[in-house]
């Protein structure tokens, strides 16, 4: 059932978008300043020893892809859509449903790394078209990361008193994020031309991600580090994901626009089809 939740929230946002209520800015503020930072604090404090390397690797890979894409397109939004994927709100529940708890833990760590990038460096660039180290260090995700590290020695206390806050924040992260995307989707006209142009971008990214992943798996296997090869299924799932719905949240909050809504919506539709095929293959073929 959990695999259906992101799409239910998307539908809810779509229906809200057809009303006179304008909730997207309020929802975006709750996400960027509260829900996402709480989720980061909790997971860093509780599971730092298991997820640290995944967080760092994902952050660095996402940053590298952003810089490469931005050098070509010169568009912060297009570059974010290329490298910042919907790992948390879409990938996490799907990984849990298809592959189990271990895959979900890996997906969650990758989400934290990409979220730190998107909500600090990415958000800073959207707000000013430049990079300010001071603003990045003072951004909610970086503060949350540092706070989570500081709470590692007290993780038993965090588990005792913070579980309900974390569960609420995790729920809000999925609900409000996909709802904001649904609200923008309700006001977005998707044409055949949009689908075809974004299909090319989506397939190009998948090809690049697949190639990089298999090369990385091969090299690390030669070095005797088998984690990548042993978890290739969940890493392949990440490659199939669309741009993060949080991009539209950030764009709404910092620019008051919805330029990325069409691209995210088109690639989300394409991604759903690819993930369904992926699920059939790993369930009935492999």
**Angle CA(169)–CA(241)–CA(205) in degrees, nearest 5?**
140
Backbone angles phi and psi of 131, in degrees to 5: -105, 120
> What domain range includes position 234?
2-182+191-284
Counted domains in the chain = 1
Q: What is the pLDDT of residue 85?
A: 93
DSSP 89-140: IIIHHHHHHHH-HHHHHHHHHHHHHHHHIIIIIIHHHHHHSS--HHHHHTSH
Evaluate if pTM is beyond 0.75: yes
The per-residue pLDDT string of the chain (286 residues; one tens digit each, 9 = 90 and over) reads: 666 777 788 889 989 989 988 888 888 889 888 988 898 899 889 988 878 888 888 888 888 888 888 888 778 888 889 989 988 878 887 887 788 878 888 888 888 888 888 877 787 777 766 666 777 777 788 898 899 999 999 999 999 999 999 999 888 888 888 888 788 778 778 888 889 989 988 998 899 888 888 888 888 888 888 777 788 889 899 999 999 888 888 888 788 877 888 888 899 889 988 988 998 888 777 6
The Cα 246–Cα 119 span in angstroms is 9
The Cα 214–Cα 207 span in angstroms is 11
Q: What is the DSSP letter of 256?
A: S
Any idea what the CATH number is for the domain that residue 34 is in? 1.20.1530
Q: What is the pLDDT of residue 129?
A: 60
Closest by CA position to 185, among listed 242, 111, 122: 242
């Amino acid at each position: 059932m959990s695999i259906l939740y992101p799409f239910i929230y998307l539908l809810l946002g779509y229906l809200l978008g057809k009303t006179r209520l304008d909730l997207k800015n309020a929802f975006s503020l709750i996400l960027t300043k509260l829900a996402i930072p709480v989720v980061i604090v909790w997971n860093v404090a509780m599971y730092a020893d298991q997820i640290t390397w995944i967080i760092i690797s994902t952050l660095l890979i996402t940053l590298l892809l952003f810089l490469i894409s931005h050098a070509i397109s010169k568009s912060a939004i297009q570059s974010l859509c290329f490298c910042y994927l919907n790992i948390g709100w879409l990938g996490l529940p799907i990984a849990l449903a298809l592959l189990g708890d271990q895959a979900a833990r890996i997906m969650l760590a990758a989400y934290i790394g990409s979220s730190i990038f998107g909500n600090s460096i990415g958000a800073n660039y959207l707000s000013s078209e430049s990079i300010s180290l001071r603003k990045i260090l003072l951004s909610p995700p970086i503060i949350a990361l540092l706070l989570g590290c500081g709470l590692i020695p007290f993780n038993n206390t965090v588990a005792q008193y913070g579980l309900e806050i974390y569960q609420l924040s995790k729920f809000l992260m999925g609900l409000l994020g996909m709802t904001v995307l649904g609200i923008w989707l309700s006001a977005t006209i998707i044409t055949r031309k949009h689908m075809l142009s974004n299909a090319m971008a989506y397939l190009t990214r998948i090809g690049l991600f697949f190639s990089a992943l298999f090369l990385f798996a091969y090299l690390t296997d030669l070095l005797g580090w088998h984690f990548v090869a042993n978890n290739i299924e969940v890493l392949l799932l990440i490659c199939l994901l669309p741009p993060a719905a949080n991009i539209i949240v950030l764009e709404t909050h910092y620019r008051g626009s919805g330029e990325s809504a069409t691209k995210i919506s088109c690639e989300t539709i394409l991604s759903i089809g690819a993930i369904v095929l992926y699920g059939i293959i790993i369930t009935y073929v492999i």
